[in-house]
Amino acid sequence: MSLQERDKKHLWHPLKQHQLNPDSMAIVKAKGCILTDEDGNEYIDAISSWYTCVFGHCNDFITNRVYQQMRQLDQVMFSDFTHEPAVKLSEELIKILPQGQNRIFFNDNGSTAVEASIKMALQYYFNKGEKRSNFIAFEDGFHGDTFGAMSVSGLSVYNGPFEDFLMDVKRIPVPNGENHDEILTQLEEYINQNDIAGFIYEPLVQGAAGMKIHDAKGLNAILKLCKSSGVLTIADEVMTGFGKTGKNFASDYIETKPDIVCLSKALTAGLLPMAITSCTEEIYEAFLSNDIAKGFFHCHTYSANPVACSAALAGIELLQTEEIQNNIQEISAAHQEFSERVKLHPKVKSTRHIGIIFALDLNTETERYGGLRDKLLKFFMDRGVFLRPLGNTLYLQVPYIISKEELSKVYKVMEEALDAL
Ligand SMILES: *Cc1c(COP(=O)(O)O)cnc(C)c1O
């Protein structure tokens, strides 16, 4: 029996209506940008397996480092113990994180990184004896699938059964270069209620919303206003972190720096699940007290797993090489050229790109899952490209190590899909 058949007996996949869509493709190996299925077919991974494997799959530099670490120290509790990979990772991260970040707290996925950031902001004010229990977030933001993360996410795709249980969160539109005054007025109104602990945002690019890019100046004005009223700013860089936007972090494009940063996805170069919530020294200090209960009592069993830390360290080292930095610039330039060509296509409504992220909106409306979206997915897979449309948005987040030939093929197949529409 094929893996695809055996899969159906006991497995339950995420983001799937199994009755309508029972098949999952079985992947048996991956190397560089190429995924190979159980029938031997190859696919270019044009979204870096959900924005994680940015240095390519099974990257030898990273797997060797991880292998060495596995033989040295596999796992130890991070409550009471510490170890070289975590210490070193904190040192390396602080060097590249947005200015002001000074403390590294470990989680194990993007949602829990966000969850911890929400709890940090709430307890920061609790410890100070100030009652602030509300948050502000962007409309259409996505921050994860646990309850706190779902609450701050504006994009509530199929959250129906849970809506009654979510925190009350105030929403503002993303800045588009024209709605500046309107947003600031609304924001001021919310802030004047005096109960806002934090503002959480995906800096510059909203991933799940369809790689929507917003105005950096407008975001900066929002952050400045938050800062002036003690509203903690939480940059969810889970998707944008580690070079995706052409800089190490999207926050590097914005003058006003966040108080808290959430990281995951490319953090471990796609090798192991891990996440980080970093913060300023000022936030950390609000948890210091002779009262034990003022400490941050939030923990995940695998916090700072040494093997995951070693993958992250190897990834950060690669990210800073001239070769990878050049690749990112070259992909960005190629996207620019492709964008200018493809935006003239009659089936294309608009295009946008930043760093290695490229997206185009189709002229037609389609559902987020099902319908035309499923047909497009099949069209791409049949031609050897793994591209995952989001509603009527086609987007790319190619690995930094993609070859010119592979990237040309991805563009070509996108254009073929447009012609076939
Ligand atoms: C993917 C994502 C998350 C959630 O991360 P998980 O690891 O899937 O829980 C949170 N925020 C952003 C911006 C994301 O892209």
Q: Residues 256-302: pLDDT tens digits?
A: 999 999 999 999 999 999 999 999 999 999 999 999 999 999 999 99
Q: Are residue 243 and residue 337 in the same domain, yes or no? A: no
Both tokens of residue 198?
């934090």
pLDDT of the residue at 271: 95
Q: Tell me, yes or no, whether 281 lies in a domain.
A: yes
Q: What's the pLDDT tens digit per position in 225-263?
A: 999 999 999 999 999 999 999 999 999 999 999 999 999
Given the CA of residue 239, which atom of ligand 1 is nearest to it? 15
User: Can you tell me whether residue 383 is helix, strand or coil?
Assistant: coil
| Residue 359: alpha-carbon gap to chain centroid | 16
- What span, in angstroms and rounded, lies between the C-alpha atoms of 35 and 57? 8
Q: Tell me, yes or no, whether 20 lies in a domain.
A: no
Find all residues with CB under 8 Å of 226, minimum gap 6, and list them: 136, 187, 191, 199, 232, 233
Q: Are residue 229 and residue 345 in the same domain, yes or no? A: no
- What span, in angstroms and rounded, lies between the C-alpha atoms of 413 and 147? 38
- What span, in angstroms and rounded, lies between the C-alpha atoms of 233 and 268? 24
- What span, in angstroms and rounded, lies between the C-alpha atoms of 408 and 331? 11
Which of 15, 54, 114 most suits a substitution to test ligand 1, by most atoms within 8 Å of the C-beta?
Answer: 114
**Number of compact structural domains in the chain:** 2
Q: Are residue 229 and residue 349 in the same domain, yes or no? A: no
Both tokens of residue 154?
């504006």
Q: Are residue 237 and residue 171 in the same domain, yes or no? A: yes
Find all residues with CB under 8 Å of 95, minimum gap 6, and list them: none
Q: Are residue 242 and residue 265 in the same domain, yes or no? A: yes
User: Can you tell me whether residue 247 is helix, strand or coil?
Assistant: coil
Q: Are residue 133 and residue 250 in the same domain, yes or no? A: yes
- Ligand 1: centre distance to CA 208 (Å): 9
| Residue 349: alpha-carbon gap to chain centroid | 25
Q: Tell me, yes or no, whether 404 lies in a domain.
A: no
CATH number at residue 237: 3.40.640.10
Q: Are residue 162 and residue 278 in the same domain, yes or no? A: yes
| Residue 68: alpha-carbon gap to chain centroid | 28
State the first-to-last Cα distance of the chain, in angstroms, to the nearest integer. Answer: 36
Q: What's the pLDDT tens digit per position in 62-116?
A: 999 999 999 999 999 999 999 999 999 999 999 999 999 999 999 999 999 999 9
Please say whether the beta carbons of 81 and 305 come within 8 A: no
Relative to beta strand 232-236, strand 260-263 is parallel
Mean pLDDT of the chain: 96
pLDDT of the residue at 370: 67
Q: Are residue 189 and residue 266 in the same domain, yes or no? A: yes
- In 3D space, the residue among 120, 124, 156 whose CA is nearest the CA of residue 137 turns out to be 156
Side chain identity at residue 69, one-letter code: Q
Q: Tell me: pLDDT of 368 over 70.
A: no
User: Can you tell me whether residue 236 is helix, strand or coil?
Assistant: strand
User: Can you tell me whether residue 381 is helix, strand or coil?
Assistant: helix
Q: Tell me: pLDDT of 210 over 70.
A: yes
Q: What's the pLDDT tens digit per position in 168-187?
A: 899 999 999 999 999 999 99
Which of 117, 237, 239 most suits a substitution to test ligand 1, by most atoms within 8 Å of the C-beta?
Answer: 239
Side chain identity at residue 303, one-letter code: S
Q: Tell me, yes or no, whether 389 lies in a domain.
A: no
Q: Tell me, yes or no, whether 415 lies in a domain.
A: no
Q: Are residue 227 and residue 110 in the same domain, yes or no? A: yes
In the block, residue with structure tokens 């004896």: 129
Please say whether the beta carbons of 198 and 234 come within 8 A: yes
Q: Are residue 178 and residue 302 in the same domain, yes or no? A: yes
Of the two residues 55 and 375, the one the predictor is more confident about is 55
Q: What's the pLDDT tens digit per position in 285-344?
A: 999 999 999 999 999 999 999 999 999 999 999 999 999 999 999 999 999 999 999 999
Q: Are residue 156 and residue 272 in the same domain, yes or no? A: yes
Which of 143, 205, 263, 357 most suits a substitution to test ligand 1, by most atoms within 8 Å of the C-beta?
Answer: 143
Q: Are residue 225 and residue 354 in the same domain, yes or no? A: no
- In 3D space, the residue among 173, 137, 133 whose CA is nearest the CA of residue 152 turns out to be 137
Given the CA of residue 207, which atom of ligand 1 is nearest to it? 15
Q: Tell me, yes or no, whether 38 lies in a domain.
A: no
Domain that holds residue 198: 73-319
Confidence of residue 345 (pLDDT cuts 50, 70, 90): very high
Relative to beta strand 275-280, strand 101-107 is antiparallel
Q: Tell me: pLDDT of 377 over 70.
A: yes
Q: Tell me, yes or no, whether 179 lies in a domain.
A: yes
Please say whether the beta carbons of 402 and 33 come within 8 A: yes
**Any residues with Cβ below 6 Å from ligand 1, and which?**
109-111, 114, 142-144, 202, 207, 236, 238-239, 264
pLDDT of the residue at 364: 84
